[in-house]
């Protein structure tokens, strides 16, 4: 079966050019002119881009006394409606489990549900010698990145010894170390002090996790990684101080080893959003928290000057009013105590549209840089390139026909993310996905779902730098 995407403008991380794209079964077989297929998709006046890749998501994740509200089907539908065709989620090691057992638990969550392709980072919470030894097997499992949490004391957090040992092993076997960089010990003290003082509203979530504690942990992770010789990827970076640490490391010759992402929502919200009246601020409770307007300016600058290489979502949705009508418990768990609000925000559906509108159309970065940040760099850094992240012969036919002129108003009422709110409620975006293909199959066409549960596949990834 050969499908021709005809008359569009192909966009890569470096070029923008008119070309037809020929797909045979799951792969792109040619990009050029004078091509013929059995069926034709008209892409006149549209961009033809690689499917978005979101390397930071939490679907069906046990967290904060509940579970994130999108599973591997609803989250995948939402991703596809937003032009994202691949994501990497986190398989989080329960204490005492092997890494193989951990991965199998998470593969089981996706089995029979997945509609787009997916991978896993393994998040290590427990590192006895047997697990140190098992790390070398991760590439055989198809996992080439490990995550360690420097925060969430008493739950996911690891100490520096664990982080450093994991880094040494990762260096040896060419795995990428990802870190959630916040100083969990200091945050734990600040949270206890706030509660003791009766400061319980959502805004205290942000006030007990100050930016300095992210900057400190970011710098600590960088220095530990340098000593261990491990490649490092700092997830969800939010502020100027943490960005400076990345910038300094890359400037002292570490630009092939030290990387960082920010998430789309950190360009738009501040800690003031957590202080909205009543309990509304809970919608914005995530970690690290939203910062200041000046940090947003720093982040736009960071993606423009390549201090930041990726923009992901950290999609970790919870209901605002859960625990009833078949909903899992959600943010309401923290009414009266901010420390019990499940941490996380939705966004997998919104990322590509919001960034096209405010990044590309808003003049913050070029069309090609949008593709680099959202598709190509994620594939390269996480061992999937050129299978994913580019439109080229031999690559998977994960393709989005993107209408740059069509407008849409983001609203929870119309979204596919399984939550009762949307951070960007009322935002008008211009530039939306019109047709979304995953390995040659149409998932979404003009707002209609055409995908299939269970058709998404686990993607085995290559070692860092391969
Ligand atoms: O608040 C957040 N970010 N929730 C998801 C877990 C994490 O830290 O990434
Ligand atoms: Zn995190
Ligand atoms: Zn996360």
Q: Which residue has the least CA distance to atom 2 on ligand 1? A: 344
Q: What is the pLDDT of residue 461?
A: 98
Best substitution site from 153, 343, 345, 347 to test ligand 1's pocket, by max atoms within 8 Å of Cβ? 343
Verify whether ligand 1 is closer than 6 Å to residue 283 (CB atom).
Answer: no
129-158 core/surface letters (b: 16 or more CB in 10 A; e: else)? eebeebbeebbebbbbbbbbbbbbbeebbb
Tell me if 66 sits within 8 A of 108, measured CB to CB. Answer: no
Q: Which of 183, 266, 287 to mutate to test the pocket of ligand 1 (most atoms within 8 A of CB)?
A: 287
Give the separation between CA 137 and CA 9, rounded to whole angstroms: 42
pLDDT confidence of residue 186? 99
Q: What pLDDT score was predicted for residue 185?
A: 98
For a substitution probing ligand 1, which of 68, 208, 314, 342 has the most ligand atoms within 8 Å of its CB?
314
- In the three-class reduction of DSSP (H, G, I as helix; E, B as strand; rest coil), residue 177 is classed as strand
**C-alpha triplet 457, 347, 367: angle, nearest 5°:** 85
Q: pTM for this structure?
A: 0.98
Element (H, E) at 240: helix 240-249
Q: Is the dihedral of CA 308, 245, 91, 139 positive or negative?
A: positive
DSSP state of 374: I
Q: What is the mean pLDDT of each run of 10 residues along the chain (466 residues)?
A: 97 98 98 97 98 99 96 98 99 97 98 98 98 98 98 98 98 98 99 98 98 98 98 99 98 98 98 98 98 98 98 98 97 98 98 99 98 99 98 99 98 98 98 98 98 98 97
CB 205 less than 6 A from any atom of ligand 1: no
Burial of residue 347 (CB within 10 Å: 0-12, 13-18, 19+) is: buried
Ligand 1 centroid–CA 342 distance in Å is 9
Spacing, Cα 72 to ligand 3 middle (Å): 16
C-beta 343 within 6 A of ligand 1? yes
Residues 6+ apart with CB under 8 A from 101: none
316 lines ligand 1 (CB under 6 A): yes
* pLDDT on residue 252: 96
Say if ligand 1 is within 6 A of residue 287 CB. yes
Q: Whose CA is nearest to atom 7 of ligand 1?
A: 287
Query: What spacing in Å lies between the alpha carbon of 61 and ligand 1's midpoint?
Result: 10
The CA distance from 61 to 63, in Å, is 6
CA distance 375 to 235: 16
DSSP-assigned states of every residue in 271-336: GGGGGSTTTGGGGG--SSPPB-HHHHHHHHHHHHTTS--EEE--B----SS-SSTTPPP-GGGGTT
Short-list 448, 84, 116, 49, CA closest to 264: 84
Q: Report pLDDT for 452.
A: 97
Tell me which H or E stretch contains 43: none
Residue 261 Cβ inside 6 Å of ligand 1? The answer reads no
Residue 423: per-residue pLDDT? 98
Q: Tell me how far CA of residue 39 lies from CA of 181, 393, 440, in angstroms.
A: 49, 18, 12
Q: Whose CA is nearest to atom 5 of ligand 1?
A: 344
Look at the chain and count its residues: 466
Q: Which residue has the tokens 């996911």?
A: 156
pLDDT on residue 362: 98
Nearest CA to ligand 1 atom 8: 287
Locate the ligand 1 atom nearest the alpha carbon of residue 151 and give its number: 8
> Which whole-number Å values give the CA distances from 7 to 59, 264, 374, 430, in the listed order?
36, 31, 24, 21
Closest residue by Cα to atom 4, ligand 1, is 344
Neighbours of 328 (CB within 10 A): 16
The protein residue whose alpha carbon is closest to atom 3 in ligand 1 is 287
* 440 within 8 A of 402, measured Cβ to Cβ: no
CA 235 to ligand 1: nearest atom: 9
CA 209 to ligand 3 center in whole angstroms: 16
| Plot region of 392 (φ>0 → left; ψ -120 to 50 → alpha; else → beta) | beta
């Amino acid at each position: 079966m050969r499908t021709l995407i005809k008359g569009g403008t192909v966009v890569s991380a470096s070029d923008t050019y008119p070309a037809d794209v020929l797909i045979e079964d799951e792969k792109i077989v040619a990009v050029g002119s004078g091509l013929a297929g059995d069926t034709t998709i008209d892409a006149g006046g549209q961009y033809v881009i690689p499917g978005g890749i979101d390397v930071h998501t939490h679907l069906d994740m046990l967290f904060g006394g509940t579970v994130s509200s999108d599973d591997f089907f609803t989250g995948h539908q939402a991703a596809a409606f937003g032009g994202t065709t691949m994501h990497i989620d986190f398989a989080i090691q329960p204490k005492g489990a092997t890494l193989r057992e951990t991965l199998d638990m998470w593969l089981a969550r996706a089995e029979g549900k997945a509609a787009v392709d997916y991978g896993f980072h393994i998040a290590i919470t427990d590192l006895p010698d047997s697990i140190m030894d098992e790390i070398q097997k991760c590439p055989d499992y198809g996992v080439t990145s490990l995550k360690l949490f420097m925060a969430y004391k008493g739950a996911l957090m690891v100490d520096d010894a664990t982080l450093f040992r994991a880094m040494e092993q990762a260096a040896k076997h060419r795995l990428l170390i990802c870190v959630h960089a916040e100083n969990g010990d200091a945050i734990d003290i600040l949270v206890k002090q706030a509660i003791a003082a009766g400061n319980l509203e959502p805004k205290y979530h942000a006030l007990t996790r100050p930016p300095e504690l992210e900057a400190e942990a970011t710098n600590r992770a960088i220095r530990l990684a340098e000593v261990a010789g491990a490649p490092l990827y700092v997830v969800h970076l939010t502020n100027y101080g943490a960005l400076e640490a990345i910038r300094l490391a890359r400037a002292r010759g570490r630009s092939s080893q030290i990387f960082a992402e920010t998430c789309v929502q950190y360009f738009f919200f501040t800690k003031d959003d957590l202080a909205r009246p009543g309990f509304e601020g809970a919608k914005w409770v995530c970690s690290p928290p939203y910062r200041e307007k000046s940090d947003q300016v720093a982040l736009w600058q960071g993606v423009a000057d390549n201090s930041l290489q990726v923009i992901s979502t950290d999609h970790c949705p919870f209901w605002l009013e859960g625990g009833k009508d078949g909903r899992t418990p959600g943010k309401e768990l923290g009414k009266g105590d901010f420390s019990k609000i499940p941490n996380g925000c939705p966004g997998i559906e919104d990322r590509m549209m919001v960034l096209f509108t405010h990044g590309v159309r808003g003049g913050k970065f070029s069309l090609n840089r949008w593709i680099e940040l959202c598709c190509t760099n994620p594939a390269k850094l996480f061992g999937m390139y050129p299978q994913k992240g580019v439109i080229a012969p031999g690559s998977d036919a994960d393709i989005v026909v993107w209408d740059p002129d069509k407008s849409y108003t983001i609203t929870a009422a119309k979204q596919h993310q399984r939550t009762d709110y949307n951070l960007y409620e009322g935002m008008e975006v211009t530039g939306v996905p019109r047709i979304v293909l995953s390995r040659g199959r149409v998932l979404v066409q003009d707002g209609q779902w055409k995908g299939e549960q269970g058709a998404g596949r686990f993607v085995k990834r290559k070692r860092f730098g391969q």
